[in-house]
Structure 1
Amino acid sequence: MSVIGAPLDRRDGPAKTTGAARFAAEHLRPGLTHAALVHATISRGRVTRLDTTAAGAVPGVIAVLTHHDAPPLKPAPKVNPLNLSTLASGTSVNYLQTDEVHFDGQPIAVVVAETSAAAKEAASLVRAEYAPSPSTVDFAAAAPHAKKQPNNPVSPGEAKKGDAEKAFAASPVTVDHRYTTPPHHHNAIEPHATIAEWDGDRLTVHDATQSIDWCRTHLAIRFGVPVGNVRVIAPFVGGGFGGKGMVWPGTILAALAARATGRPVRLALTREGVYRTVGGRTPSIQRVALGADQDGRLTALIHTSVSRTGRVGGMPEQVTSQSRHLYAAEHILVQASTVELDLVPNTAMRAPGESIGTFAVESAIDELAVELDVDPIELRLRNEPERNPLDGKEFTHRRLREAYELGARRFGWRDRTPEPGSMRDGRWLVGMGVATAYHPAWLFPANVTVRLSADGTVLLRCGFQEMGMGAATAQAQITANALGVPVDAVRVEYGDSALPMASTAGGSTQTASVAASVVEAAEKLKRRLRTRSGDDLVAAVRRAGVPHVEVSVGSDTRLGRIAGQARFMGRFLRDRRLVRAASGAQFCEVRVDPDTGEVRISRWLGVFDIGTVVNAKTAASQLRGGIVMGIGMALSEETLVDPRTGRIMNPSLAEYHVPVHADIPRIDVAMLDDPDPTMPLGVVGAGEVGITGVAAAVANAVRHATGRRVRDLPITLDKVL
């Protein structure tokens, strides 16, 4: 079996299952102290009084830091597309530097104590008084005042072909509906945590981050020290899903507290603290209007969205992104709009934009299939484009037809009778639904060093992130393949900013981005050793009479980073001539209790085109994880925000309902394993495409089972009955 694609066990599996793996909060340092946050209880205004007397009297308390006495911080840098690390600013708030409050939950004090219990007790005793200012926190009320999102190179706010509104009005068959999705939160198994320690002007941080290099750069800017003086260590991260891609207040205030006290500080957020200080997914209001002829050929596709950002941060979501690529409509209009609210800024959450955007557009396609009395798979295939429908750009790789054909056979789609309520299993109503999965693919800079030794071993060094997806195992396989050595001969060092810089683990980019540099390093090695194709590289090292040969790709020097950024921008501009994405077909079967409205997922099949499959086991696991997260989005997940105060009302796993094992059936996953010729080793990316289309497949199956169309997530009992 080839090393590429082999279903190898994850290298970090034994450490994690035996408890040997140490996560951010689990490191011990001499003199370690503990910190707890005090949160604001208004959504906008000023702190007029802070009484810390009782807090300071708690035995073991070392300091209670407020805006009156906290060490200085520099402002967060503004986002600059020419410097990707500027994307790390979770918010623009300069914590504990002024008396201003920008959102409910913003930290207004941090307590440092000898024990965690003392810190938490003292934090609960801090008393604050405020002068509130008018605030806007009700998304539904603010949505009619949304402003069109300006175009940017990554996510155009508006794109159009022809006159979609006119074509829609003239179409013989139409559907035009409003879909909504609520706010969501990530709920990684490891809440955000940081241990910070200063040695003079040098800062070492153990942090639960999925963006080691960005975190390092951001902390250097905020504390006014050289980047080389900051070290961020994160070998194990207990899940991220986008929530750990930015630098949030817990990380900054742990370092601030450590600087103020001269002691190492551990700040581990409570589950509620994560909700109140770390951004989640934006809610959305979407309109999808489809026009078609009697044969089901799309004449018009209109997809508009309203989402939110924070007044002090957050970036617009690409909710309409997939609608620029999926269907061969003659006329297309996509338009994204946003409102600014006085809430903790939103942030990326698994497949930001496409996860909620596919719910709307793929539900609407199913509604059009009903209007036309056409099988929903057949309708999709009739409108499958040969080139990008919006602008005619070439697809680098697109195997949606094959995904639907394979999925329909394996799922038994032909056994489905189209009439709603026509399929039963005893007292349960049975429904089957499908939807298209879609997520764009990118490449980001990554630096590596590769050392090939005369004893046949290889060392790969790269500061990439491991959040549970098996990154080290995949990169060992890629390195072994590139050098022609056994995979067990490859050792991988990762998870530390002292290593060569890697891109963030986000956007489904990490595997391909690091792979590109590994492949380049292998070619450098071959040139250095003057070998030809098929030569034994280890033997070449021995012939050279040296213990090892080491090569590097990229440089972490200032000039090296500038050069890497320039190469990235050049490739980004070249790639704009193409459309590259992972895609797939989601097949769902549900059972619905006609008396209670209870929905149970009984079967699932996802067929995906993710390019080359590096590790069949870890890739399938990634895709299943995305599907599970999508089932949660479909049936239960919803962050409840009080529209009067901006307070999150369900900040715990007792009230924010994520799926558990009993909610999830066996999930079958198939991968076409067809390389994308424009990507390193043909790898496209598996991290996010799995969640896309899931909510629509569930909603479409519920409609088939019951005749009820649910357009507002989550699909709760009251919406089914």
Structure 2
Amino acid sequence: MTLDLKLDTPFEDHRADEMSQGVLGTEQDRPDGWLKVAGRATYAAETDPDGLLHGVLVRAPATGAVMLSNLAEVEAMPGVRKIMSHPKMIRNAAQGTANEAPVQGADHADYVGQPVALVVAETFETATHAAHALIVSVDGVVKPVNPDEVTPERPDDKQAILGDPDITFADADVLIDETYTTPAMASAAMEPHAATADWDGDTLTLRGALQMLKFNKNELADSVGLPPEKVRLLAAYVGGGFGSKLGISADCVAAALASIELGQPVRVVQHRRQVFEVNTRRSETRQRIRLAASHDGKLSGLGHEALVSQLPEEDFSEPVIQGSHFAYAAANRKLGLEIARIHRPAAGSVRAPGESVGVTAFEIAMDELAVSSGIDPVELRLRNIPDKDPESGKPFSSHRLASALKQGAEAFGWGSRPDKPRQHRDGEWWIGTGMAAAFRVNMVIEAEARIMLSESGATVQSDMTDIGTGSYAIFQQIAAELLGQPMGQVTVELGDTRFPPGSGSGGSFGAASTGTAVWLAAMEIRQQIADRLGCPEGDLTLQNGTATCGNTRTALSDLLKSDEITGHGHVEPGDAFEKVRQATFGAHFAEVAVSEVTGEVRVRRMLGSFACGRVLNPRTARSQCHGGMTWGIGMALTEELTHDRRDGHVVNRDLAGYHVPVNADVPDLEVLFVDERDDWAGPMQAKGIGELGICGAGAAIINAIHHATGARVRDLPATPDRVIAAMISAGH
């Protein structure tokens, strides 16, 4: 039996509050945690099947037609089994939810660093040596690599104008009209992209570093020319993704093609430099933001126009203005996105695509408006909260931004903040505080899950992945709560396409999507138990392995004996997303110290206050917010993927040159949650949380830099040279 749910209407019966096991909504450890700290969690490159061969990808040194000059010579080297430059090799990674092969063909390089060949050998060392020996000749056709070299596209579906914004801007009491830039960024996940493929003559099994298996399965099958049912993907443990593993990458297809051709298992692991140039990056952005307001700070008009870049033939574009459609009330609005088609590595989803960069720039502009109008930044935002979606007129499913702002301000001690900049100094260090609001769309993806309940406990199965987000823990809690099982008697099995297709990990939709499927599967089992006991499911209490109906209490082990009850849950988006605007909200507060001598910025403390519906596990939710806030520090201060303006190649293509925040950069982070239930979000009233933590976090730091120094940095990241330049420009 399958319990199907299409999200069309709100869920006003809060069944999660009626359950008796008492684990959902509480802090629980991750069941996979001990496996990881003990080194027993198996990642994509950590299996050694018999007969394993090793593959190393070879990169293009320029763009244009590709020729392998000494192929026969290198292929004759001892231990080399095959040099493959295949028309089915993919030029760049698939976009998230692509569900089909990306652009294929190794005979032409669209960007510097594109994989154009695979060397397969008996050992990794031999394959690496041969890959370095292979001479790749490219005709070097010059193609545009910088956004300012081309005329950008302006898609009609990415423009929105309401009212008369131009007149509003011209007549405003207070007008902010500034341009902000954010650089290209890398996902920089800890685990490199890797794949181990094994073709047995009938079925291709691939263990990969992947986020969304149900889509990845079809992408890989389409790429290598197999029916999807002949492809099995395994990804029980994934060492971070941050968007770069949403679609299949070059290692997957190359390993699969080589295994099919050679009849042996083949492993391909991207080295760190390939990770930076072969997989999708976040596009750099240039954002013009205009805010028109009355003297009391009420917005009458807003404009948000952005330029991003992308490879030709790619559909995805960084949705920079996504959050600006609903963030603040203003009758007159002009929003638009332009796309520059250039030959850098493909742009794709990276850590809250859209809002992470768009909200950051917009919230810096809001701080500039607060300064110009002489209104407290928290109060300015409170005055501009919309009572409905400003563009569609739809009601919000829930909207607790005001609560997040007030809760965060009180906990941070915002009320004692000096109104003007440059009021607090400690030696060479200027001290200041800043804040920003946080916005992120809420999404649900179609998902399925299966639960088997026996006298020994419950087993949850889905092809859903856990990329470090806590999926194992959340699904264990949901099943334990609804089925009245101790946590230790619930086993969660993920990352296998032989299991029901989950949502995959991305977009902060995992818990609300696959988690809802787990909920439905458990509810189906509850109904079967109630039927056996002859009582309505609503009267059934399951707790600590016993079932109670009325005055009858029965041990589940006696009820089941050697039997097994199976429940299957299926959820899909419905009309709810057409009826209401669903989003999550929050507020960031930061304190920084800025050296007047060097321009160095040190974040001294940060606090985030978030409204994300029901919090299923405060420990994992807090951890996700810590991660988002940490990436916010990176966006504000350190992260910048640099491309050579001559040929577009990635200059800082490793973790030594691409600076992510480390322990010394990150202060104590405090996270608070607003008590909220969003009935439109599903039967658990829970929404996404992971990416909300990054949205606006960087802006709070940039705004704190201004409060400390009186200098405004509009080109991120705020590296010491840029901070010094801003202070000089401000006359300090």
- TM-score (normalised: structure 1): 0.92
How many angstroms does 1:314 deviate by?
Answer: 5.1
SS in 2 for 1:576: helix
Alignment check: 8 A CA contact 2:198 2:259 kept? yes
Instruction: Read off the aligned partner of 1:10 and give its amino acid letter.
Output: R
The whole-number CA distance in structure 2 between the counterparts of 1:593 and 1:625 is 26
SS in 1 for 2:117: strand
The whole-number CA distance in structure 2 between the counterparts of 1:259 and 1:214 is 21
- Equivalent residue in structure 1 for 2:115, among 101, 107, 111: 107
Alignment check: 8 A CA contact 2:329 2:390 kept? yes
Instruction: Read off the aligned partner of 2:563 and give its amino acid letter.
Output: P
The whole-number CA distance in structure 2 between the counterparts of 1:10 and 1:36 is 35
The whole-number CA distance in structure 2 between the counterparts of 1:78 and 1:278 is 9
Alignment check: 8 A CA contact 1:74 1:221 kept? no
How many angstroms does 1:526 deviate by?
Answer: 3.0
SS in 2 for 1:647: coil
1:482 aligns with 2:469: no
2:131 aligns with 123
2:661 aligns with 659
How many angstroms does 1:645 deviate by?
Answer: 0.6
1:223 aligns with 2:224: yes
1:605 aligns with 607
The whole-number CA distance in structure 1 between the counterparts of 2:55 and 2:561 is 55
Residue 35 and residue 314 in structure 1: after superposition, are their counterparts in 2 closer, same or farther (change >3 A)? farther
Q: How does 1:458-497 map to 2 (within 5 A)?
A: 458-497=458-497
How many angstroms does 1:49 deviate by?
Answer: 4.7
How many angstroms does 1:56 deviate by?
Answer: 2.2
Range moving further from structure 2, 537-546 or 589-598: 537-546
1:559 aligns with none
2:630 aligns with 628
SS in 2 for 1:86: coil
1:3 aligns with 2:23: yes
Alignment check: 8 A CA contact 1:74 1:224 kept? no
Q: Identity percentage over the alignment?
A: 37
Instruction: Read off the aligned partner of 2:149 and give its amino acid letter.
Output: A
Range moving further from structure 2, 188-197 or 133-142: 133-142
- Equivalent residue in structure 1 for 2:74, among 55, 58, 72: 55
SS in 1 for 2:690: coil
How many angstroms does 1:458 deviate by?
Answer: 1.3
Q: How does 1:14-413 map to 2 (within 5 A)?
A: 14-43=34-63, 45-67=64-86, 85-87=97-99, 89=101, 91-92=102-103, 94-96=104-106, 99-142=107-150, 145-151=151-157, 157-313=158-314, 315-413=316-414
The whole-number CA distance in structure 2 between the counterparts of 1:643 and 1:443 is 40
How many angstroms does 1:536 deviate by?
Answer: 4.2
Alignment check: 8 A CA contact 2:588 2:700 kept? yes
Could you list the per-position Cα deviations for residues 548-603 of structure 1 after superposition, in whole angstroms to 9, with x for gaps in the alignment? Answer: 2112234xxxxxxxxx8xx54xx1x4412211111100001000011110100001
Instruction: Read off the aligned partner of 2:401 and give its amino acid letter.
Output: L
1:697 aligns with 700
Range moving further from structure 2, 479-488 or 170-179: 479-488
The whole-number CA distance in structure 1 between the counterparts of 2:372 and 2:145 is 38
Alignment check: 8 A CA contact 1:198 1:259 kept? yes
1:523 aligns with 523
How many angstroms does 1:525 deviate by?
Answer: 2.2
Alignment check: 8 A CA contact 1:213 1:501 kept? yes
SS in 2 for 1:654: coil
How many angstroms does 1:446 deviate by?
Answer: 1.1
The whole-number CA distance in structure 1 between the counterparts of 2:711 and 2:418 is 16
The whole-number CA distance in structure 2 between the counterparts of 1:412 and 1:370 is 19
Instruction: Read off the aligned partner of 2:74 and give its amino acid letter.
Output: A
1:707 aligns with 710
SS in 1 for 2:452: strand
The whole-number CA distance in structure 2 between the counterparts of 1:86 and 1:417 is 50
Alignment check: 8 A CA contact 2:90 2:105 kept? no
Alignment check: 8 A CA contact 1:85 1:218 kept? no
Residue 266 and residue 17 in structure 1: after superposition, are their counterparts in 2 closer, same or farther (change >3 A)? same
- Equivalent residue in structure 2 for 1:12, among 5, 21, 32: 32
The whole-number CA distance in structure 2 between the counterparts of 1:86 and 1:364 is 34
SS in 1 for 2:680: coil
How many angstroms does 1:498 deviate by?
Answer: 1.1
SS in 2 for 1:26: coil
How many angstroms does 1:130 deviate by?
Answer: 2.1
The whole-number CA distance in structure 1 between the counterparts of 2:94 and 2:668 is 45
2:436 aligns with 435
The whole-number CA distance in structure 2 between the counterparts of 1:212 and 1:651 is 27
2:13 aligns with none
The whole-number CA distance in structure 2 between the counterparts of 1:613 and 1:260 is 49
The whole-number CA distance in structure 2 between the counterparts of 1:20 and 1:543 is 36
1:592 aligns with 594
Alignment check: 8 A CA contact 1:74 1:223 kept? no
The whole-number CA distance in structure 2 between the counterparts of 1:693 and 1:77 is 28
Q: How does 1:533-572 map to 2 (within 5 A)?
A: 533-536=538-541, 539=547, 542-543=558-559, 547-554=563-570, 568=573, 571=574
How many angstroms does 1:435 deviate by?
Answer: 0.5
The whole-number CA distance in structure 2 between the counterparts of 1:499 and 1:215 is 14
Instruction: Read off the aligned partner of 1:553 and give its amino acid letter.
Output: G
Instruction: Read off the aligned partner of 2:272 and give its amino acid letter.
Output: R
The whole-number CA distance in structure 2 between the counterparts of 1:42 and 1:613 is 49
Alignment check: 8 A CA contact 1:77 1:86 kept? no
The whole-number CA distance in structure 1 between the counterparts of 2:406 and 2:660 is 32
Alignment check: 8 A CA contact 1:288 1:304 kept? yes
Alignment check: 8 A CA contact 1:95 1:107 kept? no
How many angstroms does 1:73 deviate by?
Answer: 6.8
Residue 429 and residue 77 in structure 1: after superposition, are their counterparts in 2 closer, same or farther (change >3 A)? closer
1:154 aligns with none
Residue 88 and residue 208 in structure 1: after superposition, are their counterparts in 2 closer, same or farther (change >3 A)? farther
How many angstroms does 1:655 deviate by?
Answer: 0.8
1:558 aligns with none
The whole-number CA distance in structure 2 between the counterparts of 1:100 and 1:380 is 51
The whole-number CA distance in structure 2 between the counterparts of 1:699 and 1:74 is 39
How many angstroms does 1:543 deviate by?
Answer: 4.2
Q: How does 1:496-515 map to 2 (within 5 A)?
A: 496-515=496-515
The whole-number CA distance in structure 1 between the counterparts of 2:212 and 2:56 is 24
Alignment check: 8 A CA contact 2:428 2:597 kept? no
Alignment check: 8 A CA contact 2:451 2:458 kept? yes
The whole-number CA distance in structure 1 between the counterparts of 2:289 and 2:263 is 56
The whole-number CA distance in structure 2 between the counterparts of 1:543 and 1:660 is 53
SS in 2 for 1:274: helix
Alignment check: 8 A CA contact 2:305 2:336 kept? yes
The whole-number CA distance in structure 2 between the counterparts of 1:577 and 1:195 is 45
Alignment check: 8 A CA contact 1:54 1:125 kept? no
Residue 191 and residue 545 in structure 1: after superposition, are their counterparts in 2 closer, same or farther (change >3 A)? closer
How many angstroms does 1:257 deviate by?
Answer: 1.3
Across the aligned residues of Structure 1 and Structure 2, the Cα RMSD in angstroms comes to 2.0
Could you list the per-position Cα deviations for residues 449-497 of structure 1 after superposition, in whole angstroms to 9, with x for gaps in the alignment? Answer: 1122234x11111111011111111111111222233322211111111
The whole-number CA distance in structure 1 between the counterparts of 2:89 and 2:27 is 47
SS in 1 for 2:499: coil
